[in-house]
């Protein structure tokens, strides 16, 4: 198929806010360290712990608990993990020293992207306003063993942790499919101990327990191409029940358990819109002329002798218009039209050259707005691919416009729905198990933070109740993105320093409501937001 279109440029990220240079600085380590050291306590305030004991807080979870931000676990991010901020805030209510397995790296190891140009490895992302979008810094560090006192640890957050790794010795064994380098680095006995047993061994007086996110997120973050990345419901129920039983019977701790938040609302799935392709009228007209023959074949498949159902062919024509246009994608779940195209060729209605030209469109379609889940989604990583030539020798082979974008960069309506059903099912299990554990204990030992409740920060942030996007803190509206006024870090999944403080306050709110007392909170606005690029960014080399 021949085409003559004007190349277009899709920026690596579409951030729907104005960047304000004064809102953030790229270098603020001294400011952060000063604020951490001071951590001022309001004068005249009287705090109490109620029926809870915060003297030895232990936190169990994944990257959110560990403090991973900007695609990496690095010193300042770890210092701003929500459990660390929470423990610091609760000092006036009796919280003791909170020790974390220090990563001892200024920039960390970027878990999302690596490049030989980073030498030796890429570090955390920073926001390059010239793109605009995230760029890794070049001076990262490989994941290194923790050399401190493992017996004094309080933070058992393991980036990437799935529920099926929580109580599995293989999580510390590099030869096991359960292996996690982030756990092995501080495991008490790598290959023998488990995350859960190590945490319980600390004899906690209070626990935060937040697992299960990755049992859904892994599926979403890889474009929904592998159903096996959604943990089986029966497995989830069995493992979560076992973990809660173990915590309840082998400790005397009270604590807060969190369920799985609305993951698909995160910026990594929202920053690049489904209709991210801008076209002028002339280009749209030319593209439509070039796809006219293909669209006629779709019409032919609706007529005898094929008579394919309308629901099979719906959305399979490729059409453009002036303005914003839906991205052309490969949908591996769509009916494969290849065998029908072969029959059309066999009937002599198209020649071999035309058959070869339409081969890329056998399972292609444009993204759409679904009546149930809303707009279909693109991953943040799609932003760096859209509008680039699929064939370097052919500048008109533009991905997302002429050449379908790979399925791994997209989340179709069916995939979004599948993940959401799993998430809500898992949350129902978490709620049931927490209630059963409390009943067996004869008291409320574990309070549940329902992240989708009307009072949750996530409801405000993502407008789940129909309200405008954003959360208001002390009169300041903070956005659900990684702009300088946002609460997400530049990886689009994890919170930034302010976002982590909001999480800490949510756990404190739930604890205070469940166990009484009067507890202090973290000052959200006292913390910086996004890191901006300097000369160390890969994009600036």
Q: In this predicted structure, what is the pLDDT of residue 45?
A: 72
Q: Which residues pair with 256 in a beta bridge?
A: 208, 447
Token pair for 267: 């910026």
What stretches of 162-305 show up as alpha helix (H) in DSSP? 181-184, 195-200, 214-221, 233-250, 281-290, 292-302
pLDDT band at 1 (very low <50, low <70, confident <90, very high): very low
CA dihedral sign, ordered 217, 219, 223, 224: negative
Closest CA to 77 of 106, 112, 120: 106
This prediction's pTM: 0.90
DSSP 8-state secondary structure symbol assigned to residue 93: G
What is the mean predicted confidence (pLDDT) over 220-234? 97
Is pLDDT at 39 greater than 60 in this prediction?
no
Is pLDDT at 118 greater than 90 in this prediction?
yes
Instruction: Tell me how many helices (H) and strands (E) the chain has.
Output: 16, 19
Token pair for 274: 């489904």
CA dihedral sign, ordered 179, 180, 181, 184: negative
Distances (CA, A) of 393 to 6, 73, 318: 16, 39, 24
Distance in angstroms (rounded) separating the CA atoms of residues 48 and 82: 20
Is pLDDT at 23 greater than 70 in this prediction?
no
Is pLDDT at 16 greater than 80 in this prediction?
no
Distance in angstroms (rounded) separating the CA atoms of residues 175 and 40: 47
Are 250 and 200 contacting, i.e. CB atoms less than 8 angstroms apart?
yes
Preceding omega of 132 cis (within 30 degrees of 0):
yes
- 343-375 b/e (C-beta count within 10 Å ≥ 16 → b): ebbeeeebeeebeeebebbbbbbbbeeeeebeb
- Cα three-residue angle 364-272-71, rounded to 5 degrees: 115
Distances (CA, A) of 147 to 72, 151, 152, 184, 532: 19, 11, 12, 12, 31
What is the mean predicted confidence (pLDDT) over 245-261? 98
Are 212 and 426 contacting, i.e. CB atoms less than 8 angstroms apart?
yes
pLDDT in tens, 473-530: 999 999 999 988 999 999 999 999 999 999 999 999 999 999 999 999 999 999 998 8
| Domains observed in the chain | 46-270+415-540 (3.40.50.1110), 277-413 (no CATH)
Is pLDDT at 29 greater than 80 in this prediction?
no
Token pair for 105: 């790296």
Are 155 and 100 contacting, i.e. CB atoms less than 8 angstroms apart?
yes
What is the mean predicted confidence (pLDDT) over 431-446? 97
Are 420 and 264 contacting, i.e. CB atoms less than 8 angstroms apart?
yes
Distance in angstroms (rounded) separating the CA atoms of residues 497 and 520: 18
pLDDT in tens, 138-170: 999 999 999 999 999 999 999 999 999 999 999
DSSP calls for 265-327: GSGGGTSS-TT-EEE-HHHHHHHHHHTHHHHHHHHHHHSTTT---HHHHTT-S----SEEEPP
Distance in angstroms (rounded) separating the CA atoms of residues 200 and 166: 12
Are 370 and 376 contacting, i.e. CB atoms less than 8 angstroms apart?
yes
Average pLDDT, the chain: 92
- Lookup result for tokens 């019409």: 299
What is the mean predicted confidence (pLDDT) over 21-33? 41
């Amino acid at each position: 198929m021949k085409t003559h279109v004007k190349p277009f440029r899709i920026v690596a990220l579409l951030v729907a806010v104005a960047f304000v240079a004064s809102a953030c600085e790229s270098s603020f380590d001294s400011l952060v360290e000063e604020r951490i050291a001071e951590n001022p306590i309001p004068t005249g305030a009287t705090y109490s712990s109620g029926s809870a004991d915060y003297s030895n807080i232990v936190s169990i979870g994944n990257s959110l608990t560990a403090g991973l931000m900007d695609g990496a676990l690095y010193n300042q991010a770890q210092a701003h993990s929500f459990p660390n901020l929470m423990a610091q805030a609760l000092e006036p209510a009796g919280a003791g020293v909170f020790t974390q397995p220090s990563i001892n790296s200024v920039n960390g190891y970027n878990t999302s992207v690596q490049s030989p140009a980073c030498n030796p490895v890429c570090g955390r992302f920073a926001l390059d306003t010239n793109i605009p979008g995230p760029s890794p810094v070049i001076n990262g560090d490989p994941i290194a063993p923790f050399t401190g006192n493992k017996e004094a640890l309080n933070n058992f957050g393991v980036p990437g942790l799935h529920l099926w790794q929580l109580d599995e010795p293989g999580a510390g064994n590099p030869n096991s499919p359960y292996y996690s380098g982030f756990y092995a680095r501080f495991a008490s006995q790598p290959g023998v101990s488990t995350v859960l047993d190590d945490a319980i061994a600390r004899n906690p007086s209070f626990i935060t327990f937040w697992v299960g996110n990755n049992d859904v997120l892994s599926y979403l973050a890889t474009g929904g191409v592998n159903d096996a990345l959604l943990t089986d419901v029966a497995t989830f129920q069995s493992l979560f029940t076992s973990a809660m039983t173990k915590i309840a019977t082998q400790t005397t701790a009270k604590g807060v358990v969190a369920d799985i938040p609305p993951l698909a609302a995160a910026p990594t799935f929202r920053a690049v819109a489904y209709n991210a392709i801008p076209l002028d009228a002339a280009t749209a007209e030319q593209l439509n002329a070039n796809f006219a023959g293909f669209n006629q074949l779709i019409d032919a498949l609706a007529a005898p002798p094929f008579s394919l159902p309308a629901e099979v062919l719906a959305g399979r024509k490729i059409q453009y218009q002036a303005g914003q246009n839906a991205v052309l994608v490969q949908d591996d779940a769509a009916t494969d039209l290849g065998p029908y195209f072969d029959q059309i060729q066999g009937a002599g209605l198209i020649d071999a050259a035309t058959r070869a030209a339409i081969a890329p469109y056998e399972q292609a379609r444009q993204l759409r707005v679904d009546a149930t889940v809303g707009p279909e989604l693109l991953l943040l990583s799609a932003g760096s691919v859209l509008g680039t030539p699929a064939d370097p020798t052919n500048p008109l082979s533009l991905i997302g416009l002429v050449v379908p974008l790979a399925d791994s960069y997209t989340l179709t309506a069916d995939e979004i729905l599948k993940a959401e059903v799993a998430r809500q099912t898992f949350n129902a299990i978490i709620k049931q198990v927490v209630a059963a554990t409390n009943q067996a204990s004869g008291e409320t030992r574990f309070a549940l933070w329902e992240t989708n409740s009307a009072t949750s920060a996530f409801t405000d942030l993502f407008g789940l109740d129909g309200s405008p996007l954003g959360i208001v803190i002390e009169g300041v509206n903070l956005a659900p993105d990684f702009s300088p006024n946002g609460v997400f870090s530049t990886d689009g999944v994890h919170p930034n320093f302010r976002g982590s403080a909001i999480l800490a306050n949510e756990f404190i709110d739930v604890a205070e409501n469940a166990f009484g007392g009067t507890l202090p909170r973290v000052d959200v606005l006292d913390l910086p937001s996004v890191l901006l690029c300097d000369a160390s960014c890969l994009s600036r080399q």
